Amino acid sequence: MGSVHTSTSVITIERFIMEQERLHPEATGELSNLLYDLCLAAKIISRHVRRAGLTDILGAAGAVNVSGDLQQKLDLFARDTVRHAVQHTGRVCIVASEEDEEPMLCPQTSRRGKYVILYDPLDGSSNIDVNVSIGTIFSIHRRVSSPKGEPGLGDCLQVGKKQVAAGYILYGSSTMLVYTTGQGVHGFTLDPTIGEFLLSHPDIRTPAVGKYYSVNESNWNRWTPAVQRVVAAFKNGDGRMQAKNARYIGSLVADFHRNLISGGVFLYPGDTRSAEGKLRLLYEAAPLALVVEQAGGLATDGRRPILDLVPQHLHQKTPFIVGSKTDVEFAVEILAADGVPA
């Protein structure tokens, strides 16, 4: 009798990625290997994040630690860890991160591959000192420049719907890696005792109507009246919208993940201080938009789907409303009636 998948069968991310690749005979395996590379980076960053509280003992950033290594700020450590994991593999040609003003070309020594990685190495890193969950967000595009020339900014400034893959690592009560390659959204939980990400959330679907709304209400007086109407409806309910529970951690990946699993809507609208809001399009909003849409949700800037926005520059910000389909549609309808951007 052939092997039977029982509900208790342990599926590592490596095995899952391989099985997913088999669904695409044309696949070369390069994307699969790139996802493995990111997996390795995730394990290394997770190990360091878990020890963050020990910097007083092990030395904070700038100090030289017991093994003589220069202690780095965790977000710079995360930035380097991802880059080191991918830049010599011949699978990637250029990377861009929130920590660097310009994209970084992969070294000429190894063949420059066909993929581009845009990432936020450690989003919410200001929460590290108070032991609040933080995350890494990544977006993978195909190179669009000629392989005969140098990769460049044009390979990074691509519209979100062209992403090949996207996902995040959440360093929470457990470390989870959630990703999509356009074939649904799948979540893996790190078992640190064996150093493996195990399939824990196959084919994640986000509820159409959310339990939670997530927004920093201290910005209330800086929002447009239309945004205030949207948030008031989520808070108090109105004719069509049941009142929701408020949940706001102030760490994007943590807020996003809770809402993805339980249903909810996250908002970071523009305001009088910053018309484009606070969150970045290329390596925060666009990858999370791909994940949420693959899970049945929506992501918008208040008027247009995030995945349709054509970036003009690397660190461009965007208003961001993301989560349960019915809730995001409700917000867009209220904002459209007002005729101004979120």
Catalytic residue among 21, 34, 37, 98: 98
Catalytic residue among 31, 35, 118, 120: 120
Active site residue 338: no
Q: How far apart are the first and last CA of the chain?
A: 58
Active site residue 99: yes
Write the CA distances from 167 to 119, 180, 254, 291, integer angstroms: 10, 6, 13, 7
Q: Where are the beta strands (DSSP E) in 192-315?
A: 196-201, 212-214, 245-246, 264-268, 298-300
* Site of tokens 């000429």: 108
> Which of 124, 172, 187, 323 forms a contact with ligand P6P (CB under 6 A)?
124
Contact assessment for residue 260 and residue 288, using Cβ atoms and an 8 Å cutoff: no
CB of 20 to ligand P6P, least distance (A): 29
- How many residues touch ligand P6P under the rule CB under 6 A: the total is 9
Q: Which is nearer to ligand P6P, 85 or 252 (CB)?
A: 252
Strand order in the sheet with 92-97: 104-105, 92-97, 115-123, 134-142, 165-171, 175-180, 185-191, 196-201
Interaction between residue 216 and ligand P6P (CB under 6 A): yes
Rounding to the nearest 10 degrees, give the CA dihedral for residues 314, 319, 169, 158: -40
CB of 68 to ligand P6P, least distance (A): 32
> Which of 9, 28, 110, 126 forms a contact with ligand P6P (CB under 6 A)?
126
Q: Rounded CA gap, 243 and 208, in Å?
A: 15
Interaction between residue 251 and ligand P6P (CB under 6 A): yes
Interaction between residue 272 and ligand P6P (CB under 6 A): no
Beta-carbon neighbour count of residue 98 at 10 Å?
Answer: 20
CB of 53 to ligand P6P, least distance (A): 19
> Which of 21, 37, 75, 123 forms a contact with ligand P6P (CB under 6 A)?
123
Q: Which is nearer to ligand P6P, 94 or 166 (CB)?
A: 166
Active site residue 327: no
Active site residue 120: yes
**Where does this chain touch ligand P6P (CB under 6 A) — which range of 48-56, 89-97, 119-127, 159-167?**
119-127
Task: List b or e across 297-324, with b for residues whose CB sees 16 or more CB atoms inside 10 angstroms.
Answer: bbbbbbeebbbebebeebeebbbbbbbb
Write the CA distances from 340 to 102, 110, 228, 271, 335, integer angstroms: 32, 48, 13, 12, 7
**Where does this chain touch ligand P6P (CB under 6 A) — which range of 81-89, 111-119, 191-199, 246-254?**
246-254
Interaction between residue 172 and ligand P6P (CB under 6 A): no
Strand partners, 96: 118
Which tokens is 13 given?
Answer: 């991310």
Interaction between residue 270 and ligand P6P (CB under 6 A): no
Interaction between residue 278 and ligand P6P (CB under 6 A): yes
Instruction: Print the binding letters for residues 41-60 with ligand P6P: x by CB under 6 A, - otherwise.
Output: --------------------
Q: What residues are labeled active site? A: 69, 75, 98-99, 120, 122-123, 284
Q: Which residues bind ligand P6P (CB under 6 A)?
A: 123-124, 126, 216, 250-252, 255, 278
